[in-house]
Amino acid sequence: MLLPAVLMVAAGAVAAADKKVGNEAAEAAIRANVNAFVKAYNAGDAKGIANLFAADGQMLDEDENTTQGRAAIERAFAAIFAKSPQTRISVDVASIRLIGSALAIETGSTRTASKPGEVPEVARYTVVHTKSLDGNWLMAFARDTPIAGDASPGSADAAQGTASAPETGDTQPSNFERLKPLAWMIGNWIDEGSESIVLSSCKWSADKNYILQKIEVRMQGRDALDLSQRIGWDPLAGRIKSWVFDSDGGFGESLWTQKGSHWLLKATGVRRDGTTSSATNIITPTSKDSYTWRSTDRVVGTEKMPPIEVKVVRKPPEPAK
């Protein structure tokens, strides 16, 4: 009776060892791509950089400008090198996290100088890597984020390649205070269409540092998709930011900017299969119990999608029993 158990333990050990070897190989391949990126960048090789991206790869710069597709990415880097032919970069990889066998998230920081002797500009970055069918790792999505207040050329911290954390004294607003303009979202909401019902609820986290949102999408009476979103303050970007995860295995993030009476969200995401997506979402409160949600500039992979708009209303309380 012990033999099956022994075999199961042995099989588990082999599987764990295979996974470790696979993860190590994936990380080594990604680090090799990082080195190839630095080499191509410092050589002014725009095509070499573009070839490190997936065919429908997407890039989001510090000004939230989106570039998609290898040809467009090559043109973007060619323009950078034409403007600053002496530009040089160094990359410090902070982490590489494997998600399954074909998806990885890399984070780190870069130091870029447009000419020798110039104080480098420091920025943080996030790259989503996907494994292609032929086994090669490619960049599916890359995003740069400036280090607020410390990344500008000439600053003492930039010269040292470090960033100062925001002050935590009484003069700095708390995360709760920064999120107060979104307090109207707290509560339960519903959008009922002809083919689907979207239920959402928002509440403060226990520490008041975040707004937590749960979203349920029901198609013809059955649960179709669940999403969880955490809205907080990003001190590096210097603005409100949200992170969302769906029950299919996808995830994304949005940067929020208040524009008069509405909120502008620059959203990017990655589906379970590695397909990237992006959109500009606009939330406009129309009363204390309703708002509109409009999504434009929608791109999934390489396909442009039509804009959509829905009206969301506060869900009435359940009748007393």
Quick: pLDDT tens for 37-77: 999 999 999 999 999 999 999 998 877 788 999 999 999 99
Is the pLDDT assigned to residue 8 strictly greater than 50? no
| Tokens at 293, concatenated | 């949600």
Greater pLDDT, 121 or 221: 121
Domain extent for 284:
175-314
> Phi, psi at residue 39, to the nearest 5°?
-65, -45
- CATH number, domain at 210? 2.40.128.20
Is the entire prediction scored with pTM above 0.75? no
Long-range pairs for 35-39: beta carbons < 8 A, 24 or more residues apart:
37/91, 38/89, 38/90, 38/91
In this structure, are residues 311 and 290 in contact, taking their beta carbons and an 8 Å threshold?
A: yes
Model pLDDT, residue 64: 74
121 within domain boundaries: yes
Using CA atoms, how far residue 234 sits from 121, 175, 258, in Å, is 20, 9, 15
5 within domain boundaries: no
**pLDDT band at residue 101, thresholds of 50, 70 and 90?**
confident
- Is 202 in the same domain as 303? yes
> pLDDT tens across 138-168, in order?
999 998 876 654 433 333 333 333 333 334 4
Is the pLDDT assigned to residue 169 strictly greater than 70? no
124 φψ region: left (φ > 0), alpha (ψ -120 to 50), beta (else): beta
Per-residue buried b or exposed e for 54-63, using 16+ beta carbons within 10 Å of the residue's own CB: bebbbbbbee
Helices (H), the chain: 2-42, 46-50, 70-83, 156-160, 175-179
165 within domain boundaries: no
